[in-house]
Structure 1
């Protein structure tokens, strides 16, 4: 967590940003010491406008803790920036998030602003672009968009099939997002992120991405609680333009094709088991999170 906090504190808007840390309760007495250590570490965080540490008295579990935290801050402030504790951010991350939140605050087609960008091949990539659905590696949203979140995975799965969107949701077979959602319904995983993605996708909403990734995940070195060792999504953090320019709120077909090609190359046809699917698609499954850190910064 130290590296992630240090990187975030280096953002030019950190001193203007209230920081909220949500700490889930221990699962058992043996885990309490580690939880206490993390909470003490969190209370010593400096460099932000304010610090609030929310200590859960009980273990809510991964998904419930995240959903509750995002819902609480959206209700209280109308918008939220969300980070996991193993994400390393660019110094431009908060600026990109805040500019995106301001630019698209009143556009009902936009679900979220995202900091991570797929490591696709170079070539005519725009400064920013929209893709359908939502994402989970350094993101921001508004209360108006989060209200579309549906926690019932079975309902989401049925709607995808009923509307004939199942194949499209999987990028034409390039990804296994539908399988991850099915596994969530069957309680083989408890991914909140696949439900957030499906919720936004079914609402025909879009997420804004930067040209170069403003987020890197350090959890794929095996240190993450659920991430394991998988480096296919590795990327170096880059920079964002000083001023984010508004673009047409439509899915970028060029980038959609490039992302599908990337997913197709890294997702081998014979990797059908639930564990492998969850591991290779961990970016959208979002299971690397043990604690939710939520940031809120008022538009200026």
Structure 2
């Protein structure tokens, strides 16, 4: 393996250890470690952060470990985005894993081969390890192209990440000129993403970064690569999670992973898979009635 890996950690040693072991088996030559600091008002969190960082000291292969540990708590949005900024200021490309995203061993060679193949092709912005099609086979090739860029285990290049802007300064113009209609071509999807982007634009420090990344890819007309099989299992749902603390059973919890077959079979064309994207929009990115009611109440309160 030749590609650097960026590892984002915080305060969960039990999940971090499992992802670290997968990285250890892959033996990347460089390991960039991004860590946030504990929140002073959370008792015991400093000890958890310390225990999590201690796992990184177990690197026992020929590897340059480069650390970016924050002394103060930046929050998920700023810590992750600033950390990825730092990674791409040092290298041209990287594989990125968070502390709860356990990869299949074939995830690494899958990303590495495609990072090389599309290195200079600006039409592609990201390579995902996640597949949320729940058994629907969308292609006979090893992967397909999508307008979505799932970030539970992914890879990208400096040339793509340079367009990331956590403040989404171009959103007002994109919104005013109706460009989401050209990207999504479905009024329900346009409404969903318009509301979401507006919310992120108004509250850029709310611990979000991946929606800004989606926005950056869309306004560059970039595509994401999605593997035909799921290569990432998210084990981080629960009370220790930053965003997914609900006890409700989710189909995205502990999704099974399946080996990618090599040699890879590359698609002979570069067009987003509409059927797969429509399925993703209707399942992963769906707006519930409760969310609609909350938004309406928020608008009423704001108007008054």
Q: 1:223 to 1:28 in 2, by over 3 A?
A: closer
Does 2:129 match 1:115? Answer: yes
Determine if the alignment matches structure 1 residue 18 to structure 2 residue 30: yes
Contact 2:126 2:225 in 1 (8 A): yes
Quote the residue 1:148 is aligned against: 163
Contact 1:80 1:141 in 2 (8 A): yes
Structure 1 residue ranges without an equivalent (≥5): 276-300
**Which of 128, 135, 138 does residue 143 from structure 2 map onto?**
128
Conserved 8 A contact 1:115-1:138: yes
Residue of structure 2 equivalent to 1:49? 63
Q: Does the Cα contact within 8 Å between 2:19 and 2:100 map onto a contact in 1?
A: no
Which is further off, 66-75 or 141-150?
Answer: 66-75
**Corresponding residue SS for 2:292:** coil
Contact 1:8–1:14 (Cα < 8 Å) also in 2? no
Contact 1:7 1:91 in 2 (8 A): no
1:185: which partner in 2? 201
Taking the aligned partners of 1:213 and 1:88, their CA distance within structure 2 comes to 11
Over 3 Å counting, the alpha-carbon distance change for 1:252 and 1:72 in structure 2 is same
CA distance in 2, matches of 1:202, 1:140: 19
* Distance in 2 (alpha carbons) for counterparts of 1:54 and 1:124: 39
- RMSD after superposition: 2.9
C-alpha distance in 1 between matches for 2:279 and 2:156: 25
Residue matched to 1:194: 211
The separation in 1 between residues aligned to 2:185 and 2:46, in whole angstroms, is 40
Which residue matches 1:236? 256
**3-state SS of paired residue (1:249):** coil
| Higher relative contact order (Cα pairs below 8 Å, separated by 6+ residues) | 1
Structure 2 counterpart of 1:254: 275
Larger radius of gyration between Structure 1 and Structure 2: 2
Q: Is the counterpart of residue 101 in structure 1 residue 115 in structure 2?
A: yes
Match of 1:227 in 2: 244
Over 3 Å counting, the alpha-carbon distance change for 1:122 and 1:206 in structure 2 is same
Give the C-alpha shift of residue 50 in structure 1. Answer: 3.5
Give aligned pairs, total.
274
Q: Output the TM-score relative to the length of structure 2.
A: 0.78
SS in 2 for 1:137: coil
CA distance in 1 between counterparts of 2:129 and 2:105 reads: 12
Q: Say whether 1:28 aligns with 2:40.
A: yes
Aligned mates of 1:129, 1:58 — CA distance in 2: 40
For the 8 Å contact 1:113–1:141, the answer to whether it is kept is yes
* Cα displacement (A) at 1:242: 1.5
Query: Could you tell me which residue of structure 2 aligns to residue 295 of structure 1?
Result: none
Alignment partner, residue 231 of structure 2: 214
8 A contact 1:133–1:197 mirrored in 2: yes
Q: For structure 1, which segment, 24-33 or 230-239, has the greater mean C-alpha deviation from structure 2 after superposition?
A: 24-33
Q: TM-score, normalised by structure 1?
A: 0.79
Task: Tell me if the contact between 2:128 and 2:227 (Cα under 8 Å) persists in the aligned partners.
Answer: yes
Structure-1 separation of matches of 2:277 and 2:217: 16
